[in-house]
């Protein structure tokens, strides 16, 4: 009896440490209902996006599952319906952030269907290995830059008019703590000539700059904007980087520090629902986060201008009449 107790003790201690660490991650405690609100969640079929979509739907929002694969979107919809016993309003819509055309078509269809948009969650993202060859979007942008940053930059700009009409409204941009290791190379945003940069971290830093600059531009429009670092979360994100031996090496660290998708979604839900948060700021663990990155206001404005230039140069090729403002 005593020896069984001794055997269990180390596991109880480890479990206790894990629970203690979990208690520091923060939880969205408000139970604010979202009746009559309309929300878009990009990448809602998996990981953090799925959990955010589920929570917003459970609070009675109409949630648009903006996904690149409609089968995955429909599968997610069925799963959410099964998980939530009460009726939910979920609409799957096709959105491929690797294609400006797809983003345009998504926003046009959205505006045809809906007059208002109260919550935009810019969540979708990808992370590919450093060693694979430079991958490109449909518009010849480096994949991380194109999907994680430019795609959401364009999507948000096209939706600004609906967000303004729906004031007070919110834009939540899912970044990462890795933004602190990122660089914005204004002369080579598309990473054509840079050697092995950390493309994922760079795109996440661009997300934070976007949040800061957007909050300045829309200060008086009743739209709040937040960047979120969700923590290290167990999702499909690193599927292109993970090798079998990583599971062995990292499992002890993961046991203590890796969040479930539901835990990773908490700060996103908090920013999407909590009233009175400071706009233009970074949030982590359901509180404001002081980044170690030294932000340069000139980079902020230049990145915005260059992003507009990049988008305009792509759009001119397939539709000279389209302008960036929605
Ligand atoms: N997991 C972490 O530790 C962690 C840490 C910090 C920040 N984040 C951020 O959290 C966000 C959500 O990631 P996650 O961890 O939940 O990973 P995930 O499970 O892989 O989810 C990513 C979502 O983005 C979608 N997506 C990828 N490329 C897309 C495209 N071209 N167009 C539209 N959607 C696209 C994916 O769709 P498919 O299923 O079709 O691929 C998926 O739905 C990302 O922005 C990520 O950078 C994650």
Ordered by start, the domain boundaries in the chain are: 23-231+265-318
Distances, alpha carbon 278 to alpha carbons 227, 269, 288, in Å: 11, 15, 8
In the structure, what pLDDT confidence band is assigned to residue 322 with cuts at 50, 70 and 90?
low
Residue 196 C-alpha from the chain's centroid: 24
In whole angstroms, what is the distance from residue 320 CA to residue 323 CA? 8
In whole angstroms, what is the distance from residue 188 CA to residue 67 CA? 29
Which pLDDT score, from 0 to 100, does residue 248 have? 79
As a whole number, mean pLDDT of residues 17-30 equals: 91
Which pLDDT score, from 0 to 100, does residue 13 have? 87
* 122 CA to centre of ligand 1 in angstroms: 10
Q: Is 97 in the pocket of ligand 1 (CB under 6 A)?
A: yes
In whole angstroms, what is the distance from residue 74 CA to residue 59 CA? 20
Ligand 1 atom, smallest distance to 239 CA: 20
Q: Is 120 in the pocket of ligand 1 (CB under 6 A)?
A: no
Q: Is 233 in the pocket of ligand 1 (CB under 6 A)?
A: yes
Which pLDDT score, from 0 to 100, does residue 154 have? 98
Cite the DSSP H helix spans in the chain.
Answer: 2-23, 47-58, 70-83, 100-113, 143, 152-165, 199-217, 244-257, 261-264, 266-273, 297-318
Which pLDDT score, from 0 to 100, does residue 246 have? 79
Q: Ligand 1 test: best mutation among 54, 235, 289, most atoms within 8 Å of CB?
A: 235
Distances, alpha carbon 158 to alpha carbons 121, 151, 154, 215, 324, in Å: 14, 11, 6, 16, 7
Q: Is 72 in the pocket of ligand 1 (CB under 6 A)?
A: yes
Q: Longest Cα pair distance anywhere in the chain, in angstroms?
A: 79
**286: which residues sit within 8 A by CB, 6+ positions away?**
25, 26, 27, 28, 29, 266, 267, 270
**222: which residues sit within 8 A by CB, 6+ positions away?**
164, 167, 168, 169
Catalytic residue among 116, 149, 154, 200: 200
Which pLDDT score, from 0 to 100, does residue 195 have? 66
In the structure, what pLDDT confidence band is assigned to residue 324 with cuts at 50, 70 and 90?
low
* 16 CA to centre of ligand 1 in angstroms: 30
In the structure, what pLDDT confidence band is assigned to residue 130 with cuts at 50, 70 and 90?
low
Residue 164, helix vs strand vs coil: helix
* 9 CA to centre of ligand 1 in angstroms: 38
Ligand 1 atom, smallest distance to 175 CA: 7
**What percentage of the chain reaches a pLDDT higher than 70?**
93
Q: Is 106 in the pocket of ligand 1 (CB under 6 A)?
A: no
* 126 CA to centre of ligand 1 in angstroms: 5
Beta partners for 71?
none
Residue 246, helix vs strand vs coil: helix
Residue 301 C-alpha from the chain's centroid: 22
pLDDT at 131 over 80: no
Ligand 1 atom, smallest distance to 233 CA: 3
Which pLDDT score, from 0 to 100, does residue 319 have? 64
* 4 CA to centre of ligand 1 in angstroms: 43
Which pLDDT score, from 0 to 100, does residue 8 have? 84
Q: Is 123 in the pocket of ligand 1 (CB under 6 A)?
A: yes
Any idea which fold 23-231+265-318 has?
Rossmann fold (3.40.50)
More confident residue, 163 or 188: 163
**149 a catalytic residue:** no
As a whole number, mean pLDDT of residues 23-27 equals: 91
In the structure, what pLDDT confidence band is assigned to residue 151 with cuts at 50, 70 and 90?
very high
In whole angstroms, what is the distance from residue 224 CA to residue 90 CA? 24
Q: Is 149 in the pocket of ligand 1 (CB under 6 A)?
A: no
Q: Is 126 in the pocket of ligand 1 (CB under 6 A)?
A: yes
* 115 CA to centre of ligand 1 in angstroms: 27
Which pLDDT score, from 0 to 100, does residue 252 have? 79
For 178-229, how does the pLDDT look when each residue is reduced to its tens digit (9 = 90+)? 999 999 999 999 888 876 679 999 999 999 999 999 999 998 999 999 999 9
Which pLDDT score, from 0 to 100, does residue 196 have? 61
Which pLDDT score, from 0 to 100, does residue 266 have? 98
As a whole number, mean pLDDT of residues 250-263 equals: 88
Which pLDDT score, from 0 to 100, does residue 139 have? 96
In the structure, what pLDDT confidence band is assigned to residue 38 with cuts at 50, 70 and 90?
very high
Which pLDDT score, from 0 to 100, does residue 321 have? 55
For 45-72, how does the pLDDT look when each residue is reduced to its tens digit (9 = 90+)? 999 999 999 999 999 999 999 999 999 9
């Amino acid at each position: 009896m005593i020896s069984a107790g001794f055997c269990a003790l180390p596991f109880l201690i480890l479990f206790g440490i894990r629970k203690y660490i979990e208690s520091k991650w923060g939880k969205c405690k408000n139970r604010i209902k979202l009746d009559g609100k309309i929300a878009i969640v990009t990448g809602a079929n998996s990981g953090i996006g799925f959990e955010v979509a589920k929570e917003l739907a459970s609070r009675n929002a109409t949630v648009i599952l903006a996904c690149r694969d409609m089968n995955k979107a429909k599968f997610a919809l069925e799963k959410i319906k099964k998980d939530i016993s009460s009726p939910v309003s979920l609409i799957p819509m096709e959105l491929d952030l690797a294609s400006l055309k797809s983003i345009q078509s998504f926003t046009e269809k959205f505006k045809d269907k809906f007059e208002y948009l109260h919550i935009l969650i810019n969540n979708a993202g990808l992370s590919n290995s450093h060693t694979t060859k430079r991958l490109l979007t449909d518009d010849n942008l480096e994949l991380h830059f194109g999907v994680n940053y430019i795609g959401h930059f364009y999507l948000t700009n096209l939706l600004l008019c609906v967000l303004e009409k729906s004031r007070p409204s919110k834009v939540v941009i899912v970044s990462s703590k890795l933004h602190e290791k990122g660089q914005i190379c204004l002369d080579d945003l598309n990473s054509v000539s840079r050697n092995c940069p950390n493309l994922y971290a760079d795109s996440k830093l661009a997300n934070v700059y976007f949040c800061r600059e957007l909050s300045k531009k829309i200060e008086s429009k009743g739209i709040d904007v937040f960047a979120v670092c969700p923590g290290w979360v167990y999702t499909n994100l690193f599927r292109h980087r993970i090798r079998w031996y990583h599971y062995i090496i990292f499992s002890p660290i993961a046991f203590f520090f890796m969040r479930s998708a539901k835990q990773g979604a908490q700060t996103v839900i908090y920013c999407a629902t909590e009233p009175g948060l400071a706009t233009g700021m970074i949030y982590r663990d359901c509180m404001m986060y002081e980044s170690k990155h030294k932000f340069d206001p000139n980079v902020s404005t230049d990145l915005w201008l260059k992003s507009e230039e990049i988008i305009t140069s792509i759009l001119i090729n397939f539709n000279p009449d389209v302008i960036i403002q929605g």
